[in-house]
Structure 1
C-alpha cells in the first residue's frame, strides 16, 4: 500500500535518472535496486535513506518505507480479502499511509505522485465500499480524505478538469460525513486552482465558500480570508481586500495556540503570512508584501520550503523585493 517502488520510479523519471544511473550514484548493486524498484523486495533502511538524499526528498521516502510493518501489510491484505472483518488497526494503518503520501508531496512533484496514489485509492475505495461493522464509517472518512488528496495533486499538476471533478467528489463525501473541515478544505483547493488559472472572481468565490463553510476550523478560516482578500485585490476592490485582511488578523489573534486539523496539518498563523503577502503584492504594498512573504517562507518546516506548491510564494517574494 505504501508503493515505495512506484514513488521512487516516478521521482527518478522526474529527474531524468534511470535505475542504472541511480545504482551508480548510490554505489548499490543494480540488480538489488531493480528488485526494490520493481516491488519484489523491501528496501533496507540504508537504501531508503540513500534514495532520500539522491532525490532530495528530505526524509519523506524513509518515512514512507517504514510506514507499514509486515503485520500491517498482512492485516491490510486480510481486510481487502474479507471486508466484513475490518478492524480498527487497518483503518489506522491506512490513515498512516495517507499521511506519509501527504508528507511525500512536499518533496516530490505531483506528477510523480499521481499514478501510485490513484492506484492506492482504488484499493481503499473497494475496501470502503464493501466494509461492514463498527469501523466502516472511520474508513469512509479516510477514503474521503484520499479523494481530496488526489484532487489536490491534480490541481498542483494543473490537470484542471480532473482536479475539479475529484474536489467536487471530495466536497460531496465531506457533506455525507458531516465534516466541515474536509468540505472547507476541498473548496479551498478549488480556490488554489483558480489562483493558478488567474481567475480572480473564482478565487474570491471559492475561498469565501471555504471561509463560510459550517464546521471549518479557525485556522482554515484565517487562510481562506486572506486568500479571498488576494482575489479582491486582483479585482481592484481594495476596500473589500483590506476588510478581509483585518478580519483575518482579528481571527488569527483569537486562535491563540490552537493546533491545525490533521487533514490541514500545514496551517499555522505563520503559514497564512504568505497569503497576506500575495494580497499586499496585488494591492501594490510591496514592502508589506515582501515582509509577509519572507516571514511565511522562513517559517515553513525545512521539508516544505522547496515544495512544488511553495514556488508561487518564492516567485512573489522575488517580485515584491524587486519593486521595493
Structure 2
C-alpha cells in the first residue's frame, strides 16, 4: 500500500490531529505492518530513538524532528494544514469558508484526485465514528473541508456540484460531532451550511437528510412538534431516494409518537421499513446511509414501537434483530437497554 493510502487509516489520522507523535509512529507502523527497524530510513532516526518516542520516554519537541517525521511518513497536505492552523479548533463555520463556496460554479477545470481521496477517507471516518468517536477527528475533517472548498472556485457544472455534495457531507459530520459535545449552536450552524450547499449542488438526498438531522436534534432537546414538522419536510423533499425517505419517515414516526399520535407513528414506521427493504444493497444507498441494512430497518420499527409504548412489540422486535446488528457498539448498547426496559414493562 502507498504511504498516502496508509493515511486513510482513521486512527492514524486521529493521532495526527492530536499531534501525538508517539501514537503517530505506532499507528503508522500498525497500518503499514512494519517494525521500528523498518521505520528508521523513513524518519531518519535509529530504532532506539523511535522506541523511546513510542514509549513516552522521549518527547518530540524539535521542529526539525517533526518536519522529518512529516516528510518521511508522507503526511497528506490536508493533514499538515491541521498542524499549521490552530484556528481549526473553532467549532462553528467561519465566514472565509462560505466565501469560497459563494464563488463556485465558475468556468474552469479542477483536479479531482484530491476530492476523490478526501471522499474515501470521509467514508472511513463515518464508519469509525461509532467506535472511536469524532472529537479527535474533528480538526482533520475541518481541514479536509478546507481542501474541498478550495477546489470549488475553479470548478464548473457537474464537477462543482459533486464538490458541493462532498462539502455538505463534511459539514453534516461536523454538525453531528458538535451536537454530541452539546455545542448546539455550532451544530445548527453547520447543518444549515450543509443544507444550503446540498440545495445549491442539486443533491436532494443530502438536503432531505440534513432536515432529518435537524428533526433529530429537536426531538433530542424535547421539542417533538418542531421535530415532526421538520421530519415531514424531509419526507416531502422532491427527488429523494427510498433510503433517504426511509430514515426521514422513521424520524417522523418517532416524533409523532412523542406528540401522542401513535397510529400515525406506526404507519410511518411501516413506511420506513418498506422503503428500506427496497434498497438492501449498500451500493444503492447514499454513502452516509451505509448503515441502513434490513436489520437496522427492523430495529427502527421496534424503536418506534417502544416510543409508542408497545412494550411487547418493542422487546420482541429488538430481540429478534439485535444478534445480527454487527459491529456498532453504541447502537448495540442503546437497543439492548431499550429491549431490557421494554421487557420489564411487559412484566
| Paired position in structure 1 for 2:291 | 266
Q: TM-score with structure 2 length normalisation?
A: 0.67
Out of 187-196 and 309-318, give the one that drifted further. Answer: 309-318
The structure 2 residue matched to 1:247, chosen from 266, 271, 276, is 271
Higher relative contact order (CA 8 A, sep 6+): 1
Note if contact 2:212-2:251 (Cα within 8 Å) is conserved in structure 1: no
Deviation at 1:280, TM superposition (A): 0.8
Q: Give distance in 1, aligned partners of 2:326 and 2:257.
A: 29
Q: 1:153 and 2:181 equivalent?
A: no
Deviation at 1:251, TM superposition (A): 3.6
Q: Please give the root-mean-square deviation of Cα atoms over the aligned residues, in Å.
A: 4.0
| Paired position in structure 2 for 1:281 | 306
Alignment coverage as a number of residue pairs? 284
Can you list the C-alpha shifts for 1:236-286, whole angstroms capped at 9, x where unaligned?
Answer: 112222232333344445556573222321112321223222211122111
1:107 aligned counterpart, secondary structure: helix
Note if contact 2:273-2:301 (Cα within 8 Å) is conserved in structure 1: no
Q: Give distance in 2, aligned partners of 1:311 and 1:187.
A: 26
Q: Give distance in 2, aligned partners of 1:249 and 1:4.
A: 34
Q: TM-score with structure 1 length normalisation?
A: 0.72
Can you list the C-alpha shifts for 1:163-205, whole angstroms capped at 9, x where unaligned?
Answer: 1111111111111111111111111211222232232223312
Deviation at 1:217, TM superposition (A): 1.6
Note if contact 1:124-1:143 (Cα within 8 Å) is conserved in structure 2: yes
Q: 1:316 and 2:338 equivalent?
A: yes
| Paired position in structure 2 for 1:50 | none
Deviation at 1:97, TM superposition (A): 1.9
Q: Give distance in 1, aligned partners of 2:156 and 2:248.
A: 37
Q: Give distance in 2, aligned partners of 1:159 and 1:152.
A: 10
| Paired position in structure 2 for 1:202 | 226
Segments of structure 2 that go 5 or more residues without pairing to the other structure are: 1-6, 31-35, 37-49, 61-65, 81-107
Segments of structure 1 that go 5 or more residues without pairing to the other structure are: 45-64, 78-83
| Paired position in structure 2 for 1:31 | 53
Deviation at 1:40, TM superposition (A): 5.5
Q: 1:168 and 2:154 equivalent?
A: no
Out of 158-167 and 119-128, give the one that drifted further. Answer: 119-128
Q: Give distance in 2, aligned partners of 1:252 and 1:220.
A: 9
Can you list the C-alpha shifts for 1:124-155, whole angstroms capped at 9, x where unaligned?
Answer: 32333455697444323222221122122222
Note if contact 2:152-2:163 (Cα within 8 Å) is conserved in structure 1: yes
